Amino acid sequence: MNGLNNKTVVLGVTGGIAAYKAVDIVSRLKKAGVDVYVIMTRHAAQFVTPLTFQSISEHPVAVDMFQPFMADEIEHIALAKRANLFLIAPATANIIGKIANGIADDMLSTTVMATQAKVVLAPAMNTNMYLNPIVQHNISILKDKGYEVIEPESGRLACGDYGTGRLSSPEIIVQAVMRMLNIKNDLDGKTIMVTAGPTREAIDPVRYISNHSSGKMGYAIARAALDRGAKVLLISGPVALTPPVGAEIIPVISTQDMYEAAVSRFEEVDAVIGAAAPADYKPAEVSPVKIKKTEDAMTITLIRTPDIIKTLGRTKTRQKVVGFAAETQDVEQYARQKLVDKSMDMIVANDVSANGVGFGSDYNAVKIIRHDGNLKEVPRMPKEQVAHIILDELASLFEDSVL
């Protein structure tokens, strides 16, 4: 696995409207295999109920300083010891001031004082509060003491003001946490190209041919590679996903676009992971105007599009080439044939007809087959975890090349 299944984050949630975003933070961390315990201030519980966090984290939520946590354990000490990382999101001016000045008068502030884990704060508050010299002074104190601060974003705030103070997005916060938690930095110095999402092949200015790929697997791989220290080049078809922070994004539409982008940048990368689902065929002719509907059937002649992974596999020098095989039957057989035909170093095969995995799902179940014939079966799990397992195998391929 990726080393995160034995990691624990204690999340402190304070009393601000951004508390609802902390639910998403817990969900993302859990999907990545991180164990999460939540401590809420009493004011935070006015915005989101403790039951919400308990349901997602699968652990009791601490609010009261004196409620029992586990038998024979003092609650705030038990949580302080459990944490591999302590995150406070949102962090109000109040909690920032308390920690900076050594005040421990509730469950959250007391636990922070007792932990030896790295403490990360994600401030969220009104612009004038955030820019107040006292708040800025307190933040400076914490930074000087080794606390990490994930700076807030600028934008329209809940109070109607516009300016700095909006909680950084849950995706950015979770990426920062993952980097701090991840004990692996095995892709440091490597440049990884990832293709993701579908492509679209135009029929006319209105219609196109595409597929059901959501891009979630490719984006999960890009995020995981960033977490492990790699430089990431993400060539993305049209998807409704937030680009991973830190990746170089090349947006494309057609398979030809993706092909040209991948080939032009191939020489500068150490590996390519072709998680995209580019269209295999395109119309032989594209109408410059909308084709009018008639009573007759429409006949479209289709021709092959360029095979991106096959081209890269057959022209590689030092690079590792990893492809995907989305199949509906005889999955392993077809995958092994593609592995050979396209000169890949590794292929990731999945049955896209199976329920609850594959296209559009947050989960996947795959078979990873290496060029030496070695097979690794990965049962159904969140795509974030599958991504790390794929990268474990890629890192092993790099190691084999050195030996």
Q: Is 186 annotated as a binding residue?
A: no
Distance CA 400, CA 153 (A): 43
Q: Is 324 annotated as a binding residue?
A: yes
Distance CA 163, CA 154 (A): 5
Q: Is 216 annotated as a binding residue?
A: no
Q: Is 307 annotated as a binding residue?
A: yes
Kindly give, in sequence order, each residue whose CB lies less than 8 Å from that of residue 192, ignoring residues fewer than 6 positions away: 222, 225, 230, 231, 232, 233, 269, 270, 271, 272, 273, 394
> Tokens 């050594």 — which residue?
102
* Helical axes 383-402 vs 216-227, angle rounded to 10°: 60
346 neighbors 368 (Cβ within 8 angstroms): yes
Our answer to whether residue 159 is catalytic in this structure is: yes
How many other C-beta atoms lie within 10 A of the C-beta of residue 356? 10
The separation between CA 43 and the C-alpha centre of its own chain, rounded to angstroms, equals: 30
At 19, list the tokens: 């508390």
Of the residues 159, 183, 245, 303, only one is catalytic, namely: 159
Q: Provide the 3-class DSSP secondary structure of residue 154.
A: strand
Q: Is 369 annotated as a binding residue?
A: no
> Tokens 């409620």 — which residue?
67
> Which alpha helices (DSSP H) does 254-330 contain, by range?
255-265, 308-315
Q: Is 141 annotated as a binding residue?
A: no
Burial of residue 292 (number of CB atoms within 10 Å: 0-12, 13-18, 19+): exposed
CA nearest 59: which of 22, 93, 30, 91?
30
Strands 281-283, 8-13: pairing kind? unpaired
Q: Is 118 annotated as a binding residue?
A: no
Q: Residues marked as binding?
A: 280, 290, 306-309, 324, 338, 342
Binding-site residues for CTP, in ranges, read: 280, 290, 306-309, 324, 338, 342
Catalytic residues: 159
